[in-house]
Amino acid sequence: MPTDQPQPAFVLVRPQMGENIGAAARAMWNFGLDRMRLVAPRDGWPNEKASAMASGAGRLLDEAQLCDAFPDSVADCTYVLATTARPRGLTKPVLSPERAMRIAAEKIAAGEKVAVIFGPERAGLENEEIARANAIISVPVNPGFASLNLAQCVLLVAYEWMRQTGEVVHEEIATGRTGWAVAAEIDALADHYEETLDRAGFFFPETKADSMKVNLRNLWSRMALTQADVRMLHGILRQMVRWKQRGD
Amino acid sequence: MPTDQPQPAFVLVRPQMGENIGAAARAMWNFGLDRMRLVAPRDGWPNEKASAMASGAGRLLDEAQLCDAFPDSVADCTYVLATTARPRGLTKPVLSPERAMRIAAEKIAAGEKVAVIFGPERAGLENEEIARANAIISVPVNPGFASLNLAQCVLLVAYEWMRQTGEVVHEEIATGRTGWAVAAEIDALADHYEETLDRAGFFFPETKADSMKVNLRNLWSRMALTQADVRMLHGILRQMVRWKQRGD
């Protein structure tokens, strides 16, 4: 069963290798997309190599909408985006993947149907296919080396769809099963070290002792310690004292 | 020769299949990155399968820095990012690829050396390797289907590096070899159609003629026509008139 998440259809036009169809399905499903359409796959359909490659994303292949001719594959869509390296002399908006998926998300939210079309592995889309699209998506690659394969192109567009519509957490700190230490715990740690190191004769010469103590206290505060870290640092010091006392 | 563009090094730690090393090189070079480091590749180095897969990006393999042990591979770096699906209980910042490459770009611009490390295909990085990193990059994939392979992970991080540092044009209109029509040209086109269609008896009934003329004029203005489009639309109408006059 397809997800009920509104989303663009990804249309593979005359794909050649079954493996690439399977890899494209995986790339889509990595970012939650599951509406694939296929126009005249070269080696027929269904395709064993596609299924073998798709593994966990095989459902997308089973549910893929198969069309004989390209116009049928986008007949129900109000906005069609063609992925192609070069605009090839047609007057047409050329969008970055980011901008294209932002527009697609807005149109889909407004109830429109959007398709993204991908050409066959070697030749790419025909000019007459591109002419039926509303805009072109061009991935901004190294002009001296543009070698994205079909599944990679699908991956990058699907990634941008997720970026534009998903709730991406840009930065968080995983702390495992422990919480951050509070200031009182950091103070107690600093006191423990200061007192023990004082007895050990660490703060020497005496003229520098005060600034050494400030620097050490500053280090603990700067470190963003968890409660587990604080326990470990106490333990280290206690063990050093025990070792000294054992005298071996 | 490496490019002189300041950039992060991409470190593949114990990569297994030569093909994946080659595919990673291609993925990097697609986005202008060419500093690869390799830690103990399983099948030795150099690797024929890696070279065969890298094709146009083979230079990256020739220039790759080979290390026996992981710590050597990042010894000169002030900031190390580890790509991994899950933080696995270590207290560590977890960044989106976007945020990670923004931070990397800022640090590199300030003269720091940054590495991004990628684990072996199946097992991923060891916890003790992740512990040496300053932060984790986690690609926000479908939680029900996270199946990015090594080269795809490299591709997405390299793409984000380009997005954060390149000059991405988000929207432009390619017009081929023609320019946009100016208002006077659109007016002349509208006049041509209005006058000819008036003679042809198109604006009927007379009570609706004025609003039909306004709607037609509005259509031309809305279409964002090039000068070549305008010439073609004039030509269509002239030819229809000629055809009528021929009377065949």
The confidence band for B127, taking pLDDT boundaries of 50, 70 and 90, is confident
A126-134: long-range pairs with CB below 8 Å, 24+: A127/A88, A127/A90, A129/A13, A129/A70, A129/A82, A130/A82, A130/A84, A130/A87, A130/A88, A130/A90, A130/A92, A131/A90, A132/A70, A132/A71, A132/A74, A132/A80, A133/A80, A133/A81, A133/A82, A133/A92, A134/A79, A134/A80, A134/A81, A134/A93
What pLDDT is recorded for position A176? 72
- Verify whether the Cβ–Cβ distance A96 to B170 is below 8 Å: yes
Residue pLDDT, tens place only, B93-103 = 999 999 999 99
What is the per-residue pLDDT for B175?
Answer: 74
Contacts of A139 in chain B (CB under 8 A): 159
pLDDT band of residue B224 (cuts 50, 70, 90) is: confident
**Under an 8 A CB cutoff, do B99 and A170 touch?**
yes
Nearest Cα of chain B lies from the Cα of A172 at a distance, in angstroms, of: 5
* pLDDT-based confidence at residue B173 (cuts at 50, 70, 90): confident
Which pLDDT band, with edges at 50, 70 and 90, does B221 fall under?
confident
Cβ distance B160 to A163 under 8 Å?
A: no
- Record the tokens describing residue B208, joined without a space: 């609706």
Q: What is the ipTM of this complex?
A: 0.88
Q: According to the model, what pLDDT value does residue A221 have?
A: 87
Contact B93 A172 (CB under 8 A): yes
Lowest average pLDDT, out of A221-230, B41-50, B149-158, B227-236, goes to A221-230
Q: Would you call A177 and B226 a contact, using CB atoms and an 8 Å cutoff?
A: no
Confidence (pLDDT) at A109: 95
Q: Using a CB-CB distance cutoff of 8 angstroms, which residues of chain B are in contact with residue A173?
A: 91-94
Per-residue pLDDT, B213: 93
Helices (DSSP H) in chain A: which residue ranges? 18-30, 48-54, 58-62, 70-73, 97-109, 127-130, 150-165, 183-199, 206-222, 227-246
For A180, nearest residue in chain B (alpha carbons): B91
Q: Among A98, A159, A168, whose Cβ lies nearest the Cβ of B156?
A: A159
Mean pLDDT of chain B: 93
pLDDT at position B131: 87
Please tell me the distance in Å from A106's CA to the nearest CA on chain B: 16
User: What integer pLDDT is reported at residue B1 of this predicted model?
Assistant: 78
Instruction: Report strand pairing: B171-174 vs A92-95.
Output: antiparallel
Q: Shortest Cα distance from B86 to chain A (angstroms)?
A: 10
Cis before residue A46, ω within 30 degrees of 0?
yes
Contact yes or no for B173 and A31 at CB 8 A: no
pLDDT at A178: 80
Q: Chain A contacts of B229, Cβ < 8 Å?
A: 91
pLDDT at A122: 85
Instruction: With cut-offs at 50, 70 and 90, classify the pLDDT of residue B88.
Output: low
Strand order in the sheet with A171-174: A171-174, B92-95, B135-137, B79-83, B114-118, B9-13, B36-39, B65-67
Percent of chain A residues past pLDDT 90, beyond the cut = 78
Q: What is the pLDDT of residues B26-56, one digit of tens each?
A: 999 999 999 999 999 999 999 999 999 998 9
Q: How far apart are CA B119 and CA B36, in angstroms?
A: 14
- What is the predicted pLDDT for the residue at A86? 63
Question: Cβ–Cβ of B91/A177 closer than 8 Å?
Answer: no
| Residues in Cβ contact with A72 at an 8 Å cutoff, skipping those fewer than 6 apart | A39
Residues 6+ apart with CB under 8 A from B223: B229
The tens place of each residue's pLDDT in chain A, 248 residues long, gives 788 899 999 999 999 999 999 999 999 999 999 999 999 999 999 999 999 999 899 999 999 999 999 999 999 999 999 998 766 678 889 999 999 999 999 999 999 999 999 999 988 999 889 988 999 999 999 999 988 999 999 999 999 999 999 988 898 887 777 888 998 999 999 999 999 999 999 999 999 999 999 999 999 988 889 999 999 999 999 999 999 898 77
Inter-chain CB proximity A173 and B92 less than 8 Å: yes
**Which pLDDT belongs to residue B168?**
87
* Chain B residues in contact with A130 (beta carbon < 8 A): none
The residue that leads in pLDDT, B81 or A169, is B81
How large is the angle between the packed helices A97-109 and A150-165, nearest 10 degrees? 50
* A226 contacts B57? CB cut-off 8 A: no
Instruction: Provide the pLDDT confidence category of residue B172 given band limits of 50, 70 and 90.
Output: confident
Closest Cα of chain B to A140: distance in Å? 7
Superfamily of domain B9-164: SPOUT methyltransferase, trefoil knot domain (3.40.1280.10)
Domain ranges across chain B: 9-164, 183-246
Give residue B86's pLDDT.
63
Smallest Cβ–Cβ distance between B30 and the set A148, A162, A166 belongs to A148
